[in-house]
Chains A and B, each alone.
Chain A
Amino acid sequence: MTMDVEEVKRRAGPREFSPADDLPEEYRTAATRMLEFHANSEIMGAYLERPFIRQSPSLERKLAFSAKVQDEIGHGQLLYRAAESLGIKTREEMLSDLANGDGKFLNCFHYPMTEWEETPMIAFFVDGAAMRRQATLKQSSWEPYAHAMDKVCFEEGFHVKHGESILAELMNGSRKEQRLTQAAFEEWWPRILQFFGPTDDQSTHHDFAADVGLKTMTNDELRTAFLNSYLPKAETYGLEIPDEPRIRQNDDGTWDVVEDDLDWEEFFSIAKNEYEPGLGQINARKEAQAAVEWVREVLDDREAMAAGGHTGQAAD
């Protein structure tokens, strides 16, 4: 019998629910939404970083960038599987929604990234913010999500340190490199602050996801933890924190971001996939994926043929 939502809330704890449980539609839909968003973000983040495999200024940086992009696609793979196991959407459906502009993903990955000095903004700050969040998701009530986070967090330390290493090099480099990096930081800083979304009283999906244990920390808590770790790092490397958007530390160590200083119109147009540069990136990826559709058809035909000669019971 399908568990009711009250029972889910009562039992919700770390890694409590698995595909063996008959979970209510509300839970499965909410978990699918979270996982699909997370998985899409991995793919679009990889999309943004891939040109820098080619543009890396040393052979070892090139190796690292290739490995990082590879890992991100790997994270997408894990997360789509964790999402699929909820029985709401298949990976094919999620990937085709992403291609069609219906799939949602992180605000930062809607912006173009064209210069080397921008790479640590994603690879250090955004990845650092993401890793903060991912570390808490090891306690998610959806076991496949938590399991995916085990592997993601294992790998992610390389990404953040790789990003930091690029930042350290730029900020210890020529005046020109420092100037360019500061400019990139100023451009990306508001987007990074928006990574965790609006403050909690403005967030819509939080309550249910928290109540059923899908996530365990609020946006505000995560933003504070991120700022406490990463602001000092920025300062260590000599980055100047822009005066605006204003951020204020409270006596208890938490941080307030002055929301009026951030462009929420842009944020919400991004959230709807209506921001032009982001749309361009979505469409460019769609074309690349459409170009290899013929290969997937070959694989699908082969799979269908193999299944035809096989009497195994259907999975799940």
Chain B
Amino acid sequence: MIWEVFRQEAAGDYHAHCGNVHAPDREMALLFAEIQHGRRKPTNSLWVVPQDEVGEVDTDEAVFGGTTDKSYRFAQTYSVEPAAEEVEASEEEQTEAERKRGDL
């Protein structure tokens, strides 16, 4: 069976999908993943997940974040100066997200 592999580079990072392995069970999947996906790039931890157990919804079926104007959800819509650096940082991240969504 196929196991999806998620690799975390350093403690505190997010596990990100990096590939998969064929293995008959979880124990062997971990052994194979350790070498196939953890031997070259910096690795702090790996997760293996049976491929059948991964659910998916993608842009063929869903309109993530909607299609009508949702700008009320974004900090940059409000025309006041950010009160503090963390507010400003959040606004920058939101502007970036809006840009990547193609809404800007």
Contact = CB atoms under 8 A, between A and B. Distances in A.
27 contacts: A14-B12, A15-B11, A16-B11, A18-B12, A63-B72, A67-B70, A67-B73, A124-B83, A128-B83, A128-B87, A131-B86, A131-B90, A132-B84, A135-B86, A143-B12, A154-B90, A154-B97, A156-B87, A157-B91, A158-B78, A160-B82, A160-B90, A162-B78, A229-B84, A230-B83, A230-B84, A312-B53
Contacts, number: 91
A67 B78 CA distance: 14
Interface residues of B, number: 28
Contact of B86 (A64, A124, A132): A132
Interface string B2-13: 000000000111
A160 B11 contact: no
Contact of B91 (A17, A64, A161): A161
Interface residues of A, number: 37
A64 B72 CA distance: 5
Contacts of A158: 73-75, 77-78, 90, 94
A63 B78 CA distance: 13
Interface of A: 14-18, 20, 60, 63-64, 67, 124, 128, 131-132, 134-135, 143, 146-147, 153-158, 160-162, 164-165, 168, 225, 229-230, 233, 312-313
Contact of A164 (B73, B83, B90): B83
